[in-house]
Amino acid sequence: MRYERLVIESGSTTCTLDLHPRLTVIAGVGKLERDSLIGELLAALASARSGVHLELVEDTGRRLAVFRADGKRPRVVDVDRVDDVTAQFSDGTGRIDLLAVTGLDAAAARRKLRFGAPDLRAASQGAALIRALAAADQAALWAAAETLLETEQILQAEAEALGSGPEDAAMIERVEQRHHRFEALHRRHERLRRLALVVAGLCTAAGAVVALLVDSVPALGLLLAACLAMVVSIVSRTRSERARGSEAEALAEVGAQSYLGFHLQRVNGMLSSEQARRRLMSAAEQNREAAEAWNALAGAIPVGWAVEHHEEITAAARVRIDISAHASISTEAAGGADDTTDLARVLVARLAELRHLGRSNESFPLLLDDPFADLDRGAKPALLELLSHTSGSPQLVYLTEDEDVASWARLEALTGALAVVEPAVEPAAAERERHRLTRSA
C-alpha cells in the first residue's frame, strides 16, 4: 500500500500533506519535526486518535479513505465503490488498524517502516555490533531492552489516551523545562533589580553627601558601587530575556504563541487536564530513563535492531563464554562499513523486505529519517539515485534537514520522479531576510 494524503485536524487548524506515489522528500525539518511527522504517518495506520485522516492505495489498486472525526465512530471507505469497509479493519474496540492484516503491531511497524542513520549504521556493521552486544552482560542487556520496550508501550498508551502521540511528550517537556527556567531567572532578576535600585539609590545619595561634606574620592567609590549594582541588574535582565526567547522558540515548535496558549492547545489537540499532562510527563520520564539505561549497555545501537537479532546475539554470547580466555577473539571492525556499496546492500535489503510484509504480503511505505546525515558528501549521490530508481515499490517518504539531499531532490522533482515538500517561511522571518539582503546590497 502507499499513502496518498495525510490530513491532521487540530481545533480550527487543518494540515494536509499530499504524497508522491514513488518518493516524497520533506526537506528542512529538524529532529523534533521528523519525529512528530513520522509518528503521525505511523499512527494513521493503526490508531484510535481523532483528527488523523488518511487516504491510501492498496497493492490491488483499491483506494481507501480513513476518517477519524472527533466524537464520531472511525470509518474506512472504499473510495471507488463508495462502500463502508470499516469492519475489515476494525479491531472491535473502535480502533482502525490497517496493520492487523499483515500480523504486525504498532511497535513492530515502527521498527520495520522507519529507517534512520542509526539503523543504517547498525545494519551495515551488523557483525561488529553483534560482537559488541554479545560482550555485554546478557541478563542486564535484555532486562534493559524489555524495560525500554515496556516504557515505550506505556508512553504510547498514555499519549493515545489524550489523543496525542508519544513524540509530543518530548516537545511538551521541552516547553515546560524552558518555561520553568525562564520563570526562575525572571524571579531572580526581579529580586536583583529591586536590590540594585536600592543599592544604587543609597550609594548615589551617600556619594552626593560625602562629596559635599568630606571629599570627592570616597564619593567616587560610592558612585562606582552604584554603577556596579546597575550592571548586575542589566546582566540578570539579559539572561532572563534569553530564557524568554528560548521558551518562545520551544512554543513555536508546538504551534503555540504563549505559555497560556500552549496549555490550551498542543500539537494535535488539547491536554485534557493537569493530571493527564503529569501522567504523560511521568511516562516520558520513565521512557527516557529506560533509554539511558539501554544506551549505557548498548551505546547507540537501536533496541529494535537488537531485538530482531536476539538469537544471534545470545548465541554469540554463549560462544564467547565457551572460548578459552587465551583464545584470539577478533575485534576487527566490519570491513567496508562506510563503503557505499555496503550501504546500498543494506538499503536494498530493507526495501525488499517491505515489498512483501507480513502474512498478507502487502507492501508498506518506508519512512526514511535522514539516514544519510552522517555520511560523506561523496557517498550521498549514488545512494540517492538508488532510492530514486527503486522507489515506488515500496513508496518512500524521506524526511531531512540535509541541504545536500534537498538540493538533489529539487532538481529531480523537475522530472516528476519525486515531490519535494518544504516548510513555508514565516512572514516575519521572510521580512527579516529581505531586510538583511537589502542591507547587504
**What are 109-146's pLDDT values in tens digits?**
888 899 998 888 887 788 778 878 888 999 999 999 99
Residues 112 and 172 in one domain: no
CB 290 within 8 A of CB 147: yes
**What are 311-368's pLDDT values in tens digits?**
778 867 766 665 433 344 333 333 333 356 677 778 888 888 898 887 778 889 999 9
- Return all residues near 50 (Cβ < 8 A) that are at least 6 apart: 68, 69, 70, 71, 74, 163, 269
CATH number where 110 lies: 3.40.50
Q: Give a yes or no: residue 300 inside a domain.
A: no
Q: Give a yes or no: residue 147 inside a domain.
A: no
Residues 111 and 177 in one domain: no
Would the pLDDT of 420 be above 70?
Answer: yes
Q: Give a yes or no: residue 228 inside a domain.
A: yes
Going by C-alpha positions, the residue among 311, 309, 314 that lies closest to residue 137 is 314
Residues 97 and 10 in one domain: yes
Please give the tally of structural domains in the chain: 2
Q: Which of 213, 235, 266 is the last residue of a domain?
A: 266
Q: Give a yes or no: residue 210 inside a domain.
A: yes
Residues 103 and 20 in one domain: yes
Tell me what percent of the chain is helix, strand and coil, each rounded to the nearest 5.
60, 15, 30
The larger pLDDT score, comparing residue 307 to residue 398, is at 398
What is the residue range of 422's domain?
2-125+349-440
pLDDT value of residue 338 = 39
Residues 106 and 187 in one domain: no
Q: Give a yes or no: residue 181 inside a domain.
A: yes
Q: Give a yes or no: residue 323 inside a domain.
A: no
What dihedral angle (degrees, nearest 10) is formed by the CA atoms of 174, 176, 177, 179? 120
Residues 30 and 112 in one domain: yes
Residues 367 and 258 in one domain: no
Separation of first and last alpha carbons in the chain: 51
Q: Which of 266, 287, 320 is the last residue of a domain?
A: 266
Q: In whole angstroms, give the CA distance from residue 314 to residue 303.
A: 14
Q: Which of 224, 248, 266 is the last residue of a domain?
A: 266
**What are 239-253's pLDDT values in tens digits?**
888 888 887 777 666
Q: Give a yes or no: residue 70 inside a domain.
A: yes
Residues 87 and 183 in one domain: no
Residues 10 and 96 in one domain: yes
Residues 53 and 116 in one domain: yes
Instruction: Give the pLDDT mean for 26-32.
Output: 90
Q: Give a yes or no: residue 308 inside a domain.
A: no
- Return all residues near 47 (Cβ < 8 A) that are at least 6 apart: 68, 95, 96, 106, 160
Residues 116 and 187 in one domain: no
